[in-house]
Structure 1
Amino acid sequence: MDHSFHIRPFAFERVFEATPTSGSGNDALSADELRLRVAVLEADLVVARQDRESALTDARGEAYEAGRAAARLEREAALLAAVDALHATVEEIEGELSAIADRCTREAAEVAHAAAEMLAARAIAEAPGAAIDAAIGRVLQQVQRGQEIQVSVAPSLVAEIERLIAVRQAGDRRRLALSVVGDATLAEGDAHIHWDRGGVVLDGAARAEAVRQALAGLLSGPPPHDG
């Protein structure tokens, strides 16, 4: 038997103690830092959300103001267009009214001229000596008492004028030195009244021409408007 080999009993109940590692303190510090970083991130997130809300509010306000400005510009443009259209309409109406006024003026002048000629013709037809007798009355108011006056009329009116003078003499106490002579060159209704210091001429044609000249501008009128 070999005495160099010895059998020894093994201690199965031997306890091995675990040696603590040196990294446990670092692990606790990392957790604190992690919590701190989480808190910082949460704070940053809150600030970011606030910044986003503020930016959205500003953007909404700017968009609202931009919309108001655009609407105001559109409203002003529409208003200007409406005003321009109104001015154009007013100018068109004014032109039409001016044309109507010119036409009415010409028509009124034509009516007045026709009426004047009609009244003159009617007066001569109904009382051919009335205008001459009225002129004699005006002359008698201007001349001295007893002034000799000669009245020249158309031959067809001599008797009528003498009759009117007799009627006037009957109503006047002073002697009227009036004489009537016929003048074939005078139209019926015309007369030449003469005395030493003056005279009066009644010319129906001249009066009609004066009326036509006075109404000439109205009768011709401005050229009609186009449209």
Structure 2
Amino acid sequence: MAEGLAPYNFDRTFVQEDRRQPTSFGGRRKSDRSEHALDAEALRAEIEMLREQQQAELVRTREEAFQAGLDHARADREAAVLSSIDALQATLEELARNRETMLSEFTQDAAELAIAAADAIAGHATGIAPDKTVSDAIGRVLAQIARGEEIQVAVHPDLIESLRAKIDERQADNRKNIAISLNPDASVAAGDAVLTWDRGGVSINAEARRAAITAELEPLLAGSEG
């Protein structure tokens, strides 16, 4: 039996297990909490940064949308203004064309009216009383010549009697003592006359007067026809 047992080594050193191991384990848990706290702080910072970026992106998006809307509104306004200007220009051009047409028509009407007036003044419109033109001319001469002069009046024979009656009426109001002699002349058209006195004379020629007025109005008539 002594041969089967190994001698006990009383000199063997036993290492006692450190009882402060839990304290060391507890330190490791505190370190883990610090790391978690740092991670949470970093996460919160990242979340805050993302929130700020999102807010900045929203602000930028709003500004871009507002600017886009403003640009669109300006473009629409400019297009509307250009359209209005084009419409106004077209209206002005139409008015200018109508004005030229109306002016041409008015000019022609005025010229024709002037010729009609020339006919009336010259005696062509006095078919009912052709002696009126001559009588009026005699009245104008009476107002111009001096006292004591004599007026010779050459008229168509058919007007002698009617003119004599009109002259008698004028002489009743004439205080210049001017004699008026009527001379029948078949070469003078009815309504025309030739008046002469010592210091001058005047010819009443309806055709010549009408021709002169027509010549003056001819450019207007030609322009309106063109």
TM-score range, shorter chain: 0.7 to 0.9
The letter of the residue matching 1:121 is: H
For 1:103, the equivalent position in structure 2 comes to 105
Q: Give the aligned partner of residue 66 of structure 2.
A: 64
Q: CA deviation at 1:205?
A: 0.9
Match of 1:121 in 2: 124
Q: More displaced, 178-187 or 198-207?
A: 178-187
Following TM superposition, by how much is the alpha carbon of 1:211 offset from its aligned partner in structure 2, in angstroms? 2.9
User: Does the Cα contact within 8 Å between 2:108 and 2:224 map onto a contact in 1?
Assistant: no
Secondary structure in 2 matching 1:63: helix
Asked if 1 retains the 8 angstrom alpha-carbon contact of 2:111 and 2:217, the reply is yes
**How far apart are 1:158 and its partner, in Å?**
3.2
Instruction: Decide whether the 8 Å contact of 2:156 with 2:184 is kept in 1.
Output: yes
Map 1:1-227 to 2 at 5 A.
Answer: 3-6=2-5, 18-19=17-18, 20=21, 24=25, 25-26=27-28, 28-114=30-116, 116-117=118-119, 120-123=123-126, 125-172=127-174, 175-222=177-224
CA drift at 1:101:
3.3
Shift of 1:204: 0.7
2:124 is paired with a residue of what secondary structure? helix
Look up the SS of the partner of 1:199 in the other structure: strand
Deviation at 1:190, TM superposition (A): 1.2
The 3-state SS of whatever aligns with 1:133 is helix
SS in 2 for 1:188: coil
Root mean square deviation, CA, Å:
3.1
Distance 1:118 1:42 in 2: 110
Instruction: Render the CA deviation track for 1:5-41: whole Å, top value 9, x for unaligned.
Output: 2499xxxxxxx97543996345532431232122122
2: CA distance between counterparts of 1:46 and 1:102?
83
* SS in structure 1 at match of 2:178: coil
Distance 2:120 2:141 in 1: 27
Structure 2 vs 1, CA of residues 147 and 223 (structure 1 numbering), >3 Å: closer, same or farther?
closer
Whichever residue aligns with residue 168 of structure 2, its letter is A
Contact 2:105 2:224 in 1 (8 A): no
- What are the superposed Cα offsets for residues 139-183 of structure 1, whole Å, 9 maximum, x if unpaired? 222222221221112233334333433343345466432222233
Change (3 A) 1:85 1:152: same
Deviations 1:164-219 (A, max 9, x none): 33343345466432222233332111111111111111111122123323433443
User: CA 1:41/1:167 → structure 2, altered by over 3 Å: closer, same or farther?
Assistant: closer
Runs of 5+ consecutive residues of structure 1 not aligned to the other structure:
9-15
Q: Measure the CA separation in 2 of the matches of 1:35 and 1:85.
A: 74
Q: Name the % identity.
A: 36
> Could you list the runs of 5+ residues in structure 2 that have no partner in the other structure?
8-14
Amino acid in structure 1 at the alignment position of 2:87? A
